[in-house]
Amino acid sequence: MSLLRRVASALLCGLWLMACLAPPSLAQEQNPPRADLFAGYQWLSPGGKVPLLGTSNPVQGQKLPDMTQGFGLAFGYNFHPNFAFEGDYGGDWKQGFNINTYSLGPRFTLRSENMNYFVHTLVSLNQLNTPFGNHRGVGAILGGGMDLKIMRYFSLRLLEADYQWARQNFANLVPADQPDLRRPSFGGVRLRSGVVFNFGGGEALTPPSASCAAQPSEVMVGEPITLTASPSNFNPKHTVNYSWTTTGGKVTAKDATASVDTNGVAGGSYTATAHITDPRAKKNNEATCTANFTVKEPPKNPPTMNCTVNPPSVEAGQSATVSCDCKSPDNVPVNVAGWNSSAGSISGTGNTATLSTAEAPAGTISVNATCTDSRGLTGSTSAQVTVTQPAPSKEFQQIESRLSLGHSIYFPTAQPRPTNPQGGLLPSQQKTLLALATDFVQYLKGKPDAHLILEGHADRRGSAAYNQALSERRVERTKTFLVENGVPADHIDVKAMGAQQNLSPEEVRTSLEQNPDLTPGERQRILRNMRTIILASNRRVDITLTTTGQTSVKQFPFNAADSLSLIGGREAEAAPAKKTAPRRRKRRPATKQ
């Protein structure tokens, strides 16, 4: 057998032993023997070479044969249930050679009910006897094995497998130029089987134990509980001591029985513990047991509360007083707090609070409060306050009327340009927007959900993309002006129509005829400047009003009255016209708007 095969065999044996060690460790022997003695058969494969007699220059080596004749002895002293100090002897012989090893070292043993598994590491003194003399060297043994327990004092060693290493010196036989044969190292495998005699150690003692009981295990606060402890495996000739503790209540003990007073104990689960000791025993002289019990409190009822409102209905901006009456069915102290409302603002302490409806919308406001008793139980309730909006003032109605008519402003041709998006808004059109912004800001105070809709237009001259972009710049310029004059940006909606909804001359004239806001003189002025009005009608931005649930729809495509801003304004604003001869105007080629 080669050295490699011997080493592999030893390693496989070690792995097999380690695989067997884990399961038995779950049930360790309680009272191991004090010492043990092994005696049995031993087989050895030395795993090395010695000089061959009669050879020189170089000296030839011969492999030591496997030695099938041998025996082994080992004595172990167990200073711990798992650890021992071991002395070992092994002897083998064959064909004029014999090897004796004397070893010492630690041994680790895992003990189970039927088997013992061990590993050991030993240092050794090796004596090799050969036909050409006796030689001594040092070595080591590493391995392990398993013992089958037959009875308390006798076991069978089923197998022991060891890796045996030794170092020898043949300097008197081998020249220095052959170092491997001059001072060789042996690496062999040793196998054993035999009997084990166990000495010392007593019978395994069953540790003391105890059980506890609580009767009854569930009581109301104030009811007593009786505890009982039942010990076992103590020396019946000894008197044991009892010590009782509990996590709840007051315990009164007398030996194996105790009672628990639960007066004043909060509801919950508790544990009683008995500690039992035998003062005369030095080992295995104590045990502990526990018993659980539950203490229940009387039923707890949460507080109840009713709230009233005075007056139950108010106009927006007025206040209402809310009063609450809270009571505990168990007659414990209560406190009212946690006032809150679904709208408006509320402030209060104790049982009374005041609701302010300033800026609150019309509708029902829910007022809530929470009543808490001294035990932390709560009760909640709510009361409703109806809020109505006051009748709108005459001024508000006039503003709403003006805004509901809708307005139109007009831009010069192709204005504003991409290079100047803030341009193109003539002073006359700014005047219209400024009046509209002033009205709308006031209108929002009464109708906070109101919105303005801006709808931009361009005539058909130019491509669809050009007209769309132009109408977008017009509504954005209009929106910017309104925002600069106080109108909130989130109350303005914009639409860019491009040339999609151009007005024909007939639609412009119809709008003029249907607008009741024009005086006869203003109507005549528009008719005299109809060409200007028709061209401007599709360079406009229409502004309409929308409120919650209602939109002011214009009765005409655009506000013809606003078109007067293009020809001097309304009659009250227009300056006296001078009579001059009409000047012939040259027609210019059409340009994009």
Q: What are the average pLDDT values for consecutive 10-residue runs of the chain, which has 593 residues? A: 49 50 46 92 92 81 90 95 95 90 96 92 93 88 95 93 92 85 90 95 76 94 94 90 94 93 92 94 89 90 92 88 91 91 88 88 90 91 87 78 79 90 87 90 86 89 88 92 94 89 79 76 81 78 73 45 60 48 46 44
Q: How many CA atoms lie within 13 A of 262 on its CB side?
A: 24
Spatial separation of the C-alpha atoms in residues 279 and 237, rounded to whole Å = 12
Predicted pLDDT at 79: 92
Structural class in CATH, domain 209-296: mainly beta
Residue 536 has φ and ψ, to the nearest 5°, of: -75, -20
**Cα three-residue angle 585-586-589, rounded to 5 degrees:** 130
Do the domains spanning 304-388 and 394-567 agree at the CATH topology level?
no
Superfamily, domain 394-567: OmpA-like domain (3.30.1330.60)
Q: How many CA atoms lie within 13 A of 204 on its CB side?
A: 10
Spatial separation of the C-alpha atoms in residues 19 and 541, rounded to whole Å = 92
- Where exactly are the structural domains of the chain? 3-199, 209-296, 304-388, 394-567
Four-way CATH pick for 3-199: 3.30.750.24, 3.40.640.10, 2.40.160.20, 2.60.40.10: 2.40.160.20
Q: Which of 475, 481, 479 is closest to 491 using CA atoms?
A: 479
Q: Which of 562, 566, 575, 568 is closest to 433 using CA atoms?
A: 562
Amino acid at 52: L
Structural class in CATH, domain 304-388: mainly beta
Contact indicator for 88, 107 with CB cutoff of 8 Å: no
Q: What is the pairing mode between strands 319-327 and 352-356? A: antiparallel
For residue 195, the cross-strand partners are 39, 156
**Cα three-residue angle 430-432-433, rounded to 5 degrees:** 65
Q: Which of 326, 328, 331, 348 is closest to 339 using CA atoms?
A: 348
Q: Which helix (H) or strand (E) holds 534?
A: helix 530-537
Predicted pLDDT at 404: 76
Amino acid at 581: A
| pTM listed for this prediction | 0.37
Amino acid at 154: F
